[in-house]
Structure 1
Amino acid sequence: MQESIAQDMHLILWGNAVLGTMATGEPSRQEFPSSLPVNFVDLRKENPSWQEIPYAPDPMTWLEHLRGEGAEALQLFYEASQNPEIPDRIAVVFPGGGGHWLVEVVKSTGCDYWRSRWRWSERDQHWEVAYGRILCNHPRLASPMRTTRPETIHAELLTHLDRMTEFAANHDQETFARTFDLARQMLSSRGSLTEAETPWPVSRLAEICQQLLSAVEVAWVFGGMGSWNDLTFSGDSQTEYETLSDTLYQLLNTAIVVAVNSSAIVPIS
């Protein structure tokens, strides 16, 4: 999985867990598990450009500021790009490609939306990550994923992974066939991680949501050279491959959103 998507996931899982400890007065607050520097800025449009105003130098300070503004929960928002020239499953390997991912902060006054920006530091030889608040106290953005139940996406993904496994096996792609079959196993108790192996705060999720994230991690085959995206077939097989692949990408993204958003400490409609 692309690192930017994984970090958005971890930020929300971690953030909801820490908001929970803040609400209950628990003393234990684990630091955000990232080896990269992460800071947060307010973005204000001043034509023709955006002005960046420092908001927080690190995730814990960010979360404390948000709680002071009335934050109730964090959610993950995804929207396909609908680019007719290149499918999202292929564009995802490029910075900012593969659809639109936002961190949503739910408040009684509306929602804030934060978007990550990744820049490579030639001096330090690592990525620098900044989250910018692009909308503040905004009406909640519509998303069909909000009404998807974990049981629904679990069943749909299970069925589709069967199709992916069959297609790969029938087209001499045994390595990918085993990958899709393993992802299918992750959706059952046979393949899920043990309690000792499940990282915090994923361990706080319901078992079905843990299974979804485990399956996504295995089945994410969308990369560059040598990945599932790099394959080509002839005739009708190419059409079937493209349809199956695009559907898998959408199902995996839905599974991510449904599982991660279940970590909210208060019910979010």
Structure 2
Amino acid sequence: MQGTIAHAVALVLEGNAALRGVSSTGLDNGHSTMTFCEFVRFVDLASTPTGWSERTVAEDPTAWFGYLKERGFNELRLSHGPSGGTNPNGVPDRMLAAFIGGGGRWQIQASRPRGSDSWESRWTVGDRERADRRIWQVTYGRVARNQPPSADESIDLQALRDELREALVRIKAFASKQGLDNFAVCFANGLDDLAAPSPVHAFHKELANPSLLPLAAIQLLSAAQSAWVFGGMGSWNDLGFDGEDQATYESISEALYGTVNRAIVAATNSSASGSTCAPDPDPGSDKPGKRVWWKRFG
């Protein structure tokens, strides 16, 4: 799973644990998703004659959770939608997943009874020479506020697990047929994680919180990490084939990418008190700040 996605997942999970008073590891510098982060801060955006200004509302995730709780927010949800207008060349999102800001729109909705606010991350490189390798400066900006409450959408985690298993079986068979043994192992690891009582191959094992998530959600998040092969040079995206094999490759790759992302969203959102998934963000929305903030780092 891409590091930026894993971080958003961890932020939602740890945030819901804090808002619900559930035992968890916390999201400090010792968390695996924070390993390479110099800082993670949260800002409000304001329109000025020269552009957008930023006002810091929290200097770290723990302070942000407190900020939300004090203002009556009771849950966080993750959402993912296609790049839309931020990807004018029509390149499939899976082909851009290796780039910061690529692979679709990932947002976090902070909800309270009268509505929700949307937050989106910006990752920039700081000092590349840091001895501790904490080079990423991460800022989550509030890109929309006081949105109407979303209608609940029930998600069948068991059915989604079956769908992911089917996608992994198909793509593993293709990889094995093509002699792509390293990739076949990734897909086999994903299948193992879907059937395991606890994470086997997943890197970010802190995401598996049985106090917050049902087993099916833990399995989905673990499998999504193990089977994530969508990167840049040398990754699954970098392959090419002849004739019908290329068409098969494109089809099974798109199927896996879409299913994995839906699995990440559904599993993460099962940590919310209502255990439902947030709707995909509207990439064409003209709500103040949303499009401009994205273009700054997309």
With normalisation by structure 2, the TM-score equals 0.80
Q: 1:124-203 alignment to 2 at 5 Å?
A: 125=130, 126-140=135-149, 146-189=153-196, 192-193=199-200, 198-199=205-206, 202-203=209-210
- Output one character per residue of 1:57-92: Cα deviation in whole Å (capped at 9) or x when no partner: 111111111111111100001101244531111111
Q: 1:86-125 alignment to 2 at 5 Å?
A: 86-122=91-127, 125=130
> 1:135: how far off?
0.8
Gaps of 5+ in 2: 278-298
Q: How many residues align?
A: 261
With normalisation by structure 1, the TM-score equals 0.88
Task: Give the partner amino acid of 1:127.
Answer: W
User: Are the aligned partners of 1:102 and 1:113 in contact in 2 as well (CA < 8 Å)?
Assistant: yes
Q: 1:5-154 alignment to 2 at 5 Å?
A: 5-21=5-21, 30-32=26-28, 33=31, 34-35=34-35, 36=37, 37-47=39-49, 49-82=51-84, 83=87, 85-122=90-127, 125=130, 126-140=135-149, 146-154=153-161
Partner-residue secondary structure (3-state), 1:213: helix
Indicate the RMSD between aligned Cα atoms, in angstroms. Answer: 2.5
User: Are the aligned partners of 2:118 and 2:145 in contact in 1 as well (CA < 8 Å)?
Assistant: yes
User: Are the aligned partners of 1:71 and 1:105 in contact in 2 as well (CA < 8 Å)?
Assistant: yes
Q: Percent identity?
A: 38
> 1:181: how far off?
1.8
CA distance in 2, matches of 1:191, 1:177: 21
CA distance in 1, matches of 2:192, 2:49: 52
User: Are the aligned partners of 1:14 and 1:201 in contact in 2 as well (CA < 8 Å)?
Assistant: no
- Distance change in 2, residues 1:122/1:192 (3 Å): closer
> 1:219: how far off?
0.4
Gaps of 5+ in 1: none
